[in-house]
């Protein structure tokens, strides 16, 4: 795969707007009227700007498939991004869809981890080249690339027929959201391993807390340790004051 440049953006818009024209998740936020196709193109153009600033844009080597990658931990609100958002409302969603778009994005964010990850925002193959393994190859390359950067991969899909495609690549459904359609949340093996580690860590913390609370000896030890810590802190503070006084007197 290759990183797309500005000269590739029209091709990326063409591939993704065609691939997502009938997508439920896209049409949930795009104003539905006679200009719907153009509005979807505007949505993809907006997404390209965001990913160019806060992520990556990839093309397959044969330029028949592409993907938009976002790093949520790097995404920031700037004057420029606010302008993009306002333009998106005017050219894509319309005023009426703003609130439900915001509500949906908030619910999606709640299901994402706090730690850094790769958000596979869009991946699509040109209509004439679907079913040839091009999308599978690009997805595999993205997963390898994400692993090399030690980042798990998360994505959402509203197309149930795509779920076997993602499962074959090692993704697993970990949540879902019911809107006027069903949105599935998936993560790759790297993320699943992280979830298992976090779960084990949480259980360990809970068990440790239970042991401390249920054991008088442990409680006494903990209290003693706290007192010792306070004494050490006090000693350190006194040393600091003494050094400061010496410095001033010199």
Q: How far is CA 8 from the centre of its chain?
A: 24
Q: What is the model's pTM?
A: 0.75
Task: Output the DSSP codes for 80-123.
Answer: HHHHHHHHHIIIII-GGGHHHHHHHHHHHHHTS-SS--EEEEEE
Tell me the pLDDT tens digit for each residue of 153-178: 999 999 999 999 999 999 999 999 99
Name 183's bridge partners.
177
pLDDT at 127: 86
pLDDT at 191: 87
The separation between the first and the last C-alpha atoms of the chain, rounded to the nearest angstrom, is: 65
pLDDT at 9: 97
Long-range pairs of 176-179 with CB within 8 A, sequence gap ≥ 24: 177/104, 177/107, 177/108, 177/111, 179/28, 179/104
3-state secondary structure of 159: coil
pLDDT at 41: 95
Low-confidence ranges of the chain (pLDDT < 70): 196-250
pLDDT at 192: 86
Tell me the pLDDT tens digit for each residue of 13-52: 999 999 999 999 999 999 999 999 999 999 999 999 999 9
pLDDT at 21: 92
């Amino acid at each position: 795969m290759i990183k797309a440049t500005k000269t590739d953006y029209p091709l990326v818009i063409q591939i993704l707007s065609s691939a997502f024209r009938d997508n439920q998740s896209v049409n949930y936020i795009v104003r539905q009227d006679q200009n719907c196709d153009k509005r979807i193109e505007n949505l993809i153009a907006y997404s390209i700007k965001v990913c160019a600033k806060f992520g990556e844009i990839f093309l397959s080597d044969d330029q028949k498939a592409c993907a938009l990658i976002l790093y949520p931990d790097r995404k920031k609100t700037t004057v420029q991004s606010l302008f993009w958002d306002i333009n998106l409302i005017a050219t894509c969603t319309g005023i009426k869809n703003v609130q439900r778009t915001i509500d949906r994005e908030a619910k999606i964010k709640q299901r994402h981890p706090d730690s850094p990850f790769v958000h596979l925002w869009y991946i699509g193959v040109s209509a004439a080249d679907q079913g040839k393994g091009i999308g599978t190859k690009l997805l595999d390359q993205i997963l390898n690339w994400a692993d090399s950067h030690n980042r798990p991969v998360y994505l959402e899909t509203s197309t149930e027929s795509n779920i076997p495609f993602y499962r074959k690549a090692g993704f697993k459904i970990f949540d879902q959201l019911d809107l006027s359609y069903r949105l599935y949340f998936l993560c790759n093996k790297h993320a699943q391993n992280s979830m298992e580690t976090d779960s084990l860590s949480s259980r360990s913390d809970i068990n440790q807390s239970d042991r401390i609370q249920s054991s008088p000896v442990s409680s006494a030890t903990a209290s003693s340790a706290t007192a010792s810590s306070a004494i050490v802190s006090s000693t350190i503070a006194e040393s600091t004051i003494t050094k400061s006084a010496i410095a001033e007197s010199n």
